[in-house]
């Protein structure tokens, strides 16, 4: 929240005041440690949630802050996953360097496509992202000799982190690793959003034609954030490949692109924590509901999605913060 006391007079001081850590934020991150104690049997799921949350965070940077709706964001997730998997298979299995490779591959492709992305908006843009997503999916499918195609990439072996923390069956290492990467990336994203660049992005989201008139090139900003977002999506994909030691076409297909949009909308767009919350709700719901009925687990998600979009325009997080503001006796 914005500090209400005093006026910060320089942009720097103003943005700094905005970026102070709140109690709820600290509590949230402490709560991410709870699975180690409360649900030690669910650490693999917790690790998947952390990875998915990171992917949702990457989408929030472009969708929530720059207004770029993408239905093909799994392309970067999948590129990262395949890059990390193939790297471990043919070069070596050291995980941190593998993650860097995943980030670089996704980032480079993100940068290359950002020139197209920055030129379009609305339906055209959505169709372009969708098309790019299909394109990358088909490439992964047809490059069977290296990706394993529909059979998935087999033979991924990841060394222990720092040559010490072995990936165990219970997912203890996997969750610790994913959580640390999520947290560090989140810090970067948070810093970025609370910078003048982040504020300019929000201006672009609201009115891309207006921003140049106050000195910011909308296209250059969009290219930057799209590249950053693709890089983070690639890191998330790389994490999945490394923690599961396999890569399937499912890491790069349309379903994954659509799911991450659903999570972000459920949680709340443009709030950094929305994607995190959405990923938790979505993944836990999938885990629980598919236990009850493996055929129709998406049904309750669909109901929830429609309800949230109709009644909670700011997503679940937006609803919660309105509730909190009401309790504090302030107008939202």
The DSSP annotation for 38-101 comes to H-GGGHHHHHHHHHHHHHHHHHHHHHHHH----S-THHHHHHHHHHHHHHHHHT---HHHHHHH
Among residues 65 and 167, whose Cβ is nearest to other proteins?
Answer: 65
Among residues 88 and 321, whose Cβ is nearest to other proteins?
Answer: 321
Query: Can you say whether residue 309 is alpha, beta or left, with left for phi > 0 and alpha for psi between -120 and 50 degrees?
Result: alpha
Among residues 166 and 191, whose Cβ is nearest to other proteins?
Answer: 191
Q: What DSSP character marks residue 160?
A: P
Neighbours of 329 (CB within 10 A): 6
Close Cβ partners of 283 (under 8 Å, ≥ 6 residues apart): 45, 48, 49, 52
Q: How far apart are CA 254 and CA 96, in angstroms?
A: 28
As measured in angstroms, the least distance from the Cβ of 212 to other proteins is 4
As measured in angstroms, the least distance from the Cβ of 220 to other proteins is 8
Among residues 4 and 163, whose Cβ is nearest to other proteins?
Answer: 4
Close Cβ partners of 185 (under 8 Å, ≥ 6 residues apart): 54, 57, 232, 235
Three-state SS at 207: coil
Among residues 103 and 193, whose Cβ is nearest to other proteins?
Answer: 193
As measured in angstroms, the least distance from the Cβ of 272 to other proteins is 15
As measured in angstroms, the least distance from the Cβ of 221 to other proteins is 10
As measured in angstroms, the least distance from the Cβ of 271 to other proteins is 12
Among residues 5 and 163, whose Cβ is nearest to other proteins?
Answer: 5
As measured in angstroms, the least distance from the Cβ of 7 to other proteins is 7
The DSSP annotation for 233-256 comes to HHHHHHHHHHHHT-B-GGGSSHHH
H or E segment and range at residue 26: helix 23-31
Residues that bind other proteins (CB under 8 A): 2, 4, 7-11, 14-15, 196, 199-200, 202-203, 206-207, 209-218
Among residues 14 and 29, whose Cβ is nearest to other proteins?
Answer: 14
As measured in angstroms, the least distance from the Cβ of 210 to other proteins is 5
8 Å CB contact between 153 and 141: no
């Amino acid at each position: 929240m914005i500090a209400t006391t005093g006026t910060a007079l320089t942009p720097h001081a103003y943005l700094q005041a905005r970026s102070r850590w709140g109690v709820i934020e600290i509590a949230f991150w402490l709560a991410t440690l709870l699975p180690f104690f409360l649900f030690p049997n669910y650490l693999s799921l917790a690790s998947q949630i952390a990875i998915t949350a990171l992917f949702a965070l990457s989408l929030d940077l472009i969708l929530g802050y720059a207004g770029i709706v993408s239905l093909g964001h799994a392309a970067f997730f999948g590129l990262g996953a395949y890059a990390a998997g193939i790297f471990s298979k043919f070069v070596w299995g050291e995980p941190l360097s593998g993650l860097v490779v995943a980030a670089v591959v996704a980032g480079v492709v993100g940068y290359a496509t950002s020139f197209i992305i920055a030129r379009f908006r609305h339906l055209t843009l959505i169709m372009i992202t969708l098309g790019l997503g299909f394109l990358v999916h088909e490439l992964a499918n047809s490059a069977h000799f290296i990706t394993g195609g529909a059979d998935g990439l087999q033979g991924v072996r990841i060394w222990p982190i720092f040559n010490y923390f072995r990936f165990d069956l219970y997912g203890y290492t996997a969750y610790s690793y994913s959580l640390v990467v999520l947290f560090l990336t989140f810090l970067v994203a948070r810093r970025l959003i609370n910078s003048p660049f982040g504020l300019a992005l929000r201006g672009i989201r609201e009115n891309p034609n207006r921003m140049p008139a106050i000195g910011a090139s909308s296209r250059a900003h969009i290219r930057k954030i799209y590249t950053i977002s693709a890089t983070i999506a690639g890191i998330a994909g790389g994490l999945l490949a490394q923690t599961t030691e396999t890569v399937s076409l499912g890491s790069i297909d349309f379903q994954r692109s659509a799911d991450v949009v659903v999570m972000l909308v459920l949680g709340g767009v443009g709030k950094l924590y929305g994607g995190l919350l959405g990923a938790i709700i979505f993944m836990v719901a999938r885990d629980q509901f598919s236990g009850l009925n493996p055929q129709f687990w998406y049904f309750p998600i669909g109901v929830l999605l429609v309800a949230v979009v109709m009644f909670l325009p700011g997503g679940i997080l937006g609803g919660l913060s309105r509730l909190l503001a009401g309790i504090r006796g302030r107008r939202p």
